[in-house]
Chain A
Amino acid sequence: DAKTTQPPSMDCAEGRAANLPCNHSTISGNEYVYWYRQIHSQGPQYIIHGLKNNETNEMASLIITEDRKSSTLILPHATLRDTAVYYCIVRVARTMNRDDKIIFGKGTRLHILP
């Protein structure tokens, strides 16, 4: 599976959009980009995923570049509760693949500043 590179930490002012980058330059055509976040003392929480089109849900937007070598997670109006570690994961989506597994990288520690 492809590996990801994320900045170790970022700051964002409350109420502003938080843009979290992820580099996955070795991604393959059948690998999805997933984002999870982990708020302190909790388990990771799924945010969003995509293959090549941009995606939006109630939590965030995911922008994937045309060459799929990088992506950006956007939290449109960050609040203090968005302070967390954000993990970008690429993952093959093959049915019944015994080796398919979600492996977490180091993530980005996002601080929302009041």
Chain B
Amino acid sequence: DTEVTQTPKHLVMGMTNKKSLKCEQHMGHRAMYWYKQKAKKPPELMFVYSYEKLSINESVPSRFSPECPNSSLLNLHLHALQPEDSALYLCASSQDRGRFGEKLFFGSGTQLSVL
């Protein structure tokens, strides 16, 4: 199994809603990532988890709250989002961080629309 699975594929939410994005991998990877991608722009790194601990937060607003309950799961909790947060949210995993030849495996993303 070389897949990173993201659910849901599409999400529409209001600015007062609370929702969560889910990411799952069963490759035994110990590093997991959240990226945000606006239309026709490159992915932007948001968070990095290494061995279930948050190791990088790219100054992301607190309305985005990541969680890594175990080595296979990564969640992104959303609360009080703004319309400008509408984007494709991508999850990725890698065997470890900082190793030579490390490859990231990406999911297909969750397309989020904030109304």
Using a CB–CB cutoff of 8 Å, the interface residues on chain A facing chain B are: 32, 36, 38, 41-46, 49, 85, 87, 93-107
Size class of the B contact interface (CB-based, 8 Å): 20 to 34
> How far is A112 from B33 in the complex, measured between Cα atoms in Å?
31
> How far is A96 from B106 in the complex, measured between Cα atoms in Å?
21
List B76-111 residues whose CB lies under 8 Å from chain A: 90, 92, 97-109
A-B contact count (CB 8 A): 58
* A96 lies within 8 A of B97 (CB): yes
* A43 lies within 8 A of B4 (CB): yes
| In the complex, B74 has a CB within 8 A of chain A | no
Stretch at the interface among B12-20, B41-49, B63-71: B41-49
* A93 lies within 8 A of B102 (CB): yes
> How far is A36 from B90 in the complex, measured between Cα atoms in Å?
14
* A43 lies within 8 A of B107 (CB): yes
> Which B residue sits closest to A30, measured CB to CB?
B100
Using a CB–CB cutoff of 8 Å, the interface residues on chain B facing chain A are: 4, 33, 42-45, 48, 55-56, 90, 92, 97-109
> Mind listing 7 A-B residue pairs with CB under 8 Å?
A38-B43, A44-B43, A44-B106, A93-B99, A95-B98, A96-B97, A99-B56
> How far is A85 from B90 in the complex, measured between Cα atoms in Å?
16
Given the interface pairs A104-B42, A104-B43, A107-B42, the reply to whether A93 lies near B98 with Cβ below 8 Å is: yes
CB contacts (< 8 Å) of B98 on chain A: these are 93-97, 100
The 3 closest A-B pairs by CB, nearest first: A43-B106, A104-B42, A46-B103
CB contacts (< 8 Å) of A46 on chain B: these are 103-105
CB contacts (< 8 Å) of B101 on chain A: these are 32, 49, 93
> Which B residue sits closest to A41, measured CB to CB?
B108
> Which A residue sits closest to B99, measured CB to CB?
A95
The one of B42, B100, B102, B109 in contact with A106, judged by C-beta atoms closer than 8 angstroms, is B42
Chain B: minimal CB distance from A105 (Å) = 6
CB contacts (< 8 Å) of B108 on chain A: these are 41-43
CB contacts (< 8 Å) of B43 on chain A: these are 38, 44, 104
